[in-house]
Structure 1
Amino acid sequence: MPVFTQKNAEKQLNAEADKVQRDDLESLLARQRAIEDKVKGSGKLQRFSGDIKLMFSMIGDYWNGSYRNLPWKSIAAIAGALLYVLNPLDLIPDLILGIGFVDDAGVVALCLKLVETDLIRYAAWKEQREAATPEVI
């Protein structure tokens, strides 16, 4: 079995991102819980749990129009990576114990590398927005 490489991750991420349409974001947001549960249950993906929550938050704010300060390419890459994680029959099927999530982790890691600046900007925006919003008791 060939080793999953960064080149494989890039190919898979590009293939998924190219398929993403704006309407897919709503469907993806509806499946957030399933993806987060899958991430929690896998050793290789679990370390990306916080990043994946931030990705979902950014997609949600993009979807509802409150945050649009990023290119569609970044949203498509994030959505593509998350949809790839959701697919149990991807390049290395998730059912293969020990290595089934290696490709998923590779795709997520590559996506994080590609959209790192956008995620950092979004996290700063979100933090500033939350600081400016008075807490309701």
Structure 2
Amino acid sequence: MMLFTEVRGLPVTVPDRAGPLGTVTCLTVDVASGAVSHVRLRGGRFRGETVLPWDAVRAIGPEGVRAGSADAVGTAPPCHDLLDRRVLTEAGTEQGTVLDVAFDTGTGRLLALFTTRGEVPADRLLGLGDHAAVVRTG
């Protein structure tokens, strides 16, 4: 298990390259599967943001993210960062703000959302948009 905040800023490396491809800016979540779908990263000073599909991640830990190949890195599609996102129930009731997210480093599966109002099981996440993350009530 690891937290999203622990992954931010980690280097992304590949076996066939001397230096890092970039550093992690955030993790993209696929709400339907309840898992991380991409690792978003930023390269050098003037490079734009790119993404590494989760299935190209070979290992992830406190030292960094290791990818199988630099060829897997692609253009970053638009996404919504789950961290610092407002949390609402499906009825529109305010449930705080996402402080962190726990996930399984082997599968990318979300385990829990930690909000300003406590822990929310990841299986209650229904949606993620411009305005908020939507969760199912109890």
Q: Does TM, normalized by the shorter one, top 0.5?
A: no
Alignment TM class, shorter chain as reference: under 0.3
Structure that is richer in strand per residue: 2
Structure that is richer in helix per residue: 1
Higher relative contact order (CA 8 A, sep 6+): 1
Scaled by the length of structure 1, the TM-score of the pair is 0.25
Scaled by the length of structure 2, the TM-score of the pair is 0.25
